Amino acid sequence: MRKIERAEIILKELKKLYPSPPIPLDHTNAFTLLVAVVLSAQSTDKKVNELTKELFKVADNPEKMVKLGITGIYQYIKQLGLSNQKSKNIFHLSRLLVERFNKQVPSTYKELESLPGVGHKTASVIMAQVFNIPSFPVDTHIHRLSQRWGLTKGDNVIQTEKDLKRIFPSNEWNKLHLQIIFYGREYCTARGCDGTKCYICRTLYPKRKSKFICKKP
């Protein structure tokens, strides 16, 4: 089966399962989504949502977050991994938004990635979900499934992103990255599927009998 044929099967199945996938991180505006994505690094979306529910009640814009201060931010997110560094990043990115960007989340990769704690993946999420610019953020789920499905060799997330962008049409990217995440959490999990068990893996590789070993990002 050719790569383009596998891509068509994947798209068809994911559209059937997740016709309108929601953004898994709770937010009320561009700023709170940016903060939530920064906090989600090495943390589960579920835990981030639990903690930001209270944080965003007191600080849902850059000015309020700056007033809260590093220590104040930390008190709300201390249960997260890397909470000390995340508190600093959230404070300093909020201050930069106030000082340099008129309290608005910027709409270019260069400007977004100039903010503390914001790397390419986080910037891609904001470009896709806030500004509707075709983007393909690659997280651990997408990196794992892309390898299992023969869409990339998985050398690194940068290469995986390039490979996926070559295979799928750009008008599918913003929704597709969420669809793959949800499928990876529900069906093609890290431990629950080894490349031979879920529907898509079995359909794409019906003769695969042994466990598929994925490269870590």
| Structural domains of the chain, count | 2
Distance CA 212, CA 186 (A): 18
Mean pLDDT rounded to a whole number for the chain: 96
CATH number at residue 156: 1.10.1670.10
Report pLDDT digits (tens) over 134-168: 999 999 899 999 999 999 997 899 999 999 999 99
Q: 3, 46, 57, 121: which is the annotated catalytic residue?
A: 121
Q: Is 194 a catalytic residue?
A: no
The reported pLDDT for the residue numbered 208 is 94
Q: 139, 153, 155, 216: which is the annotated catalytic residue?
A: 139
Instruction: Assess contact for 9 and 203: CB atoms under 8 A.
Output: yes
Q: How much of the chain, in percent, has pLDDT values that exceed 70? A: 100
> Rounded to two decimals, what is the model's pTM?
0.92
Q: In the listed set 129, 151, 179, which residue is the last one of a domain according to the structure?
A: 129
Q: How many other β-carbons are positioned within 10 Å of the β-carbon of residue 167?
A: 18
- C-alpha distances in angstroms, 75 versus 69, 72, 87? 10, 5, 9
On the question of pLDDT at 181 being above 90, the answer is: yes
Burial class (CB in 10 A: 0-12, 13-18, 19+), 200: buried
Q: Is 139 a catalytic residue?
A: yes
3 state SS of 144: helix
Report pLDDT digits (tens) over 57-88: 999 999 999 999 999 999 999 999 899 999 99
The reported pLDDT for the residue numbered 154 is 77
Confidence of residue 1 (pLDDT cuts 50, 70, 90): confident
The reported pLDDT for the residue numbered 217 is 74
Residue identified by tokens 């996938």 is 21
- For residue 98, what are the contacts with CB-CB under 8 A and spacing of at least 6? 62, 63, 66
Range of the domain at 193: 3-21+136-204
- Asked whether residue 182 falls in the same domain as residue 119, the answer is no
Q: In the listed set 71, 95, 129, which residue is the last one of a domain according to the structure?
A: 129
Residues in the chain: 217
Distance CA 27, CA 39 (A): 12
Confidence of residue 216 (pLDDT cuts 50, 70, 90): confident
Radius of gyration of the chain (CA): 18
